[in-house]
Structure 1
Amino acid sequence: MGLLLVEAPHSVSLDAVMTALWSEEKPPRNARTAVHIHMARLRRILCDVQCGSEKIITTKRSSYQIDSSEVKIDLRLYKEACQSAQIARSKGETTLEEWHLTRAVELWNGDLLEDVPLGTDYDDRRRLLREWHLDVLERLWEIRIEQGASAQAVMLLRRLLASYPLRENAWCLLMTALMRDGRSAEAVSAFNAAREIFTEQLGIGPGMRLQSLFQEVLTA
């Protein structure tokens, strides 16, 4: 089912479903029949729990398609919230932008099908969506720092950087939040930590934004 939801509104070939189900293993002799039975069960489950129509999954030319208009797909809702946030930002409506970003963050329940080994193509999509989500988080906390929530931002940005230490924008936000919270010494420590990580892992120093923030701390 996860494969159908990810590809919605596009159809998924029977061969692709078989590959996802059995991965590198050899499919059983009656694999096609097994897939048909599996899809029939999914139709009944979806009909019972949400949709009221067994046509939610249709079969066309040895492929399957889920009617995404009949199912609340969190990924679609997440994208819609992000798009609404971008529109609000373009209009200078920061409060509305924050509302939509908060909604998007609430919808995020981890990487795309993180427990399903679907192969390289889907690994790339997971990575791209994760990068997108990190951008969303950083923009949300940029707004909240501007609104005065610096102390809370420090805690959450440090948690983010513990998992993704090469996010330079997150380091900039952390330094900004620390400075606005009156913690200049910690801002200097954050810069030194970022410099060490970038040097060790990338072989380069901090970018211009981090360096400018560092100079701002020193002259404050």
Structure 2
Amino acid sequence: MSARVGVITFPGTLDDVDAARAVRYAGGEAVSLWHRDTDLQGVDAVVVPGGFSYGDYLRAGAIAARSPVMGPVVEAAHRGLPVLGICNGFQILCEAELLPGALVRNAGLRFICREVRLRVENSTTAWTSGIAAGAEITVPLKSGEGRFVADDDTLARLEDEGRVVFRYADPAPNGALHDVAGVCSDDGRVVGLMPHPEHAIDPLTGPGTDGLGLFTSVLARLTAAA
């Protein structure tokens, strides 16, 4: 039986369909979760996709982090459920305090939409275990509030503990500190990144298939643990 991966939809979510397609491309079963749900339907992992949840009012991700569905997601993540946050999903995971740091307005205050090269710095997480450390992948970036920031102590801890999962291979176009594109929790099961791997799973519709590795990685990890 295929692993079941929940994909959350909030009002304003744009990329849930793409995330669900990526799960299916990787060989998993995508399970739709609604922002008002309090039952995760026994899923084996969760993707918090990109978009503009609740219109990005207050701060991007701030309202979504306090939605009904995120309560059980946070509890399950603390028990070891793999969770991936993409773009707005990354913002939500930071607002929910599942990941450290924050995402703020891009340097230059401009929305950025382009393909970027990422270097995989940590290949031991639930979402990167099938990708070689040091590998470079090309995926789209599209965000206005994608600049990763954290205080000096937090940045030092992330670097020392190997919790920077993705780094922009070129200087971060959004001004992210230390060129950080994605980070993980201390156990490596929760990962957030600003660029969009779900938009790089098919050469017909994206820059290639580099993004598929995140989804095949988690499915392989779940299968091995079954």
> How does the TM-score come out when normalised to structure 1?
0.26
Greater relative contact order (CA < 8 Å, ≥ 6 in sequence) = 2
> How does the TM-score come out when normalised to structure 2?
0.26
Q: Whose radius of gyration is greater, 1 or 2?
A: 1
Bigger fraction of residues in helix = 1
Bigger fraction of residues in strand = 2
